[in-house]
Amino acid sequence: MKHEESKAQGNVSTVMRFVLLGFSDLPNLQGFLFGVFSMIYMITLIENGLIIIITSLDPALQKPMYFFLANFSSLKICYVTVNVPRILVNLWTQDRSISILNCATQMCFFLILAATECFLLAVMAYDRYVAICDPLHYPLVMSQSMCFQLALGSWVSGIPVQIGQTCQIFYLNFCNSNQINHFFCDIPPILRQACGDTSAHEVSVYLIAMLFVAVPFMLILASYCKIISTILRLPTAQGQTKAFSTCSSHLLVVALFFGSATVTYLRPKSNHSAGTDKLLSLIYTIVTPMVNPMIYSLRNKDVIAALKKLSLTKIK
């Protein structure tokens, strides 16, 4: 792969393009991986698209919980579209080069969507909190306008901060090897390519990660502490089971996303390794968007009923 570079001041080589190594260490599996990722991408689009369709068309799903679920599915479609097409092109053409501008654009969209997911998961936890802990006021608190405002806030809140963080990172000079041992432009592998001392940028990454990961996670944790406390006070075991079933899917999704994201961004730099970073990134950028609709549909009778109704309508 040709190393494209320019001469900066002080006669220092400055990288102008990166090479995403991705899965180049598996040369005999390129075709197989292309097939696997193509299948995952199509399954993810179909599953999440179905969730959006049934929550829009089925009257039984015209509730705040499913409005946020539709937003979550839309987010997951955007999420995989930021990364998977680039992976597929790299695997098909074996041309893994990417310009710094395209790399910065990919990172910016990825970070914005990741911030959106953190806030949206917190909003979904708040929705369950109000539904279980204050059911009499639920229609008033979670009105249509409030749901729209919460969803919109989740989508846009991270935009200015993440654009600023992306600009800050790409203002650095990249004078090390232009080869990035990753399958997309993520913060840890990009910072490893930068010249000089990047400690100030690393602190900035930690602070922003704490804002967009730790704060929503603490809100989710506080909501579920109150939810669990309320469920345990219900008089019947049947009532407890029904109340918990509406939350278990969300809890599993939260654990998958925040677990892998926390280990990726908040663990010490000395513990970072390219292989671990790629594995964790695969989990929360590609695997979870595919399994999330399965988690929600398999444990939700309303969603299963709506899917059956849709399939019967198509057959007729």
**What is the tens place of the pLDDT at every residue in 28-64?**
888 899 999 999 999 999 999 999 998 998 888 889 9
CB 8 within 8 A of CB 173: yes
Rg over alpha carbons for the chain, rounded to the nearest Å, is 22
CA 67 to chain centre: 18
Q: How many domains does the chain have?
A: 1
The neighbouring-strand residues paired with 8 are: 12
Nearest to 205 by CA among 122, 114, 309, 289: 114
Q: What angle do CA 77, 82, 84 make, to 5 degrees?
A: 85
pLDDT per residue of the chain (316 residues) written in tens, 0 to 9:
444 444 444 434 456 788 888 887 778 888 899 999 999 999 999 999 999 998 998 888 889 999 999 999 999 999 899 999 999 998 898 888 888 899 999 999 999 999 999 999 999 999 999 998 888 999 999 999 999 999 999 999 999 999 999 998 988 888 767 888 888 888 888 888 888 778 888 888 888 888 888 889 999 999 999 988 888 887 777 767 776 777 878 888 888 888 877 776 666 655 556 667 777 788 878 888 898 888 877 667 778 877 777 776 655 5
DSSP 135: G
**Cα(96)–Cα(183) distance, rounded to whole angstroms?**
9
- Quote the strand ranges of 150-258, DSSP E: 179-180
**Cα(119)–Cα(207) distance, rounded to whole angstroms?**
16
CA 276 to chain centre: 18
CB 217 within 8 A of CB 196: no
Amino acid of residue 280:
L
CATH at 189: 1.20.1070.10
Give the tokens for residue 245. 């079933």
Within a 10 A sphere around the Cβ of 90, how many other Cβ atoms? 24
First CA to last CA distance, the chain: 55
**Cα(192)–Cα(203) distance, rounded to whole angstroms?**
14
**Cα(9)–Cα(6) distance, rounded to whole angstroms?**
10
Q: What is the phi/psi pair of residue 8, to 5°?
A: -90, 180
Domain of residue 149 covers 5-315
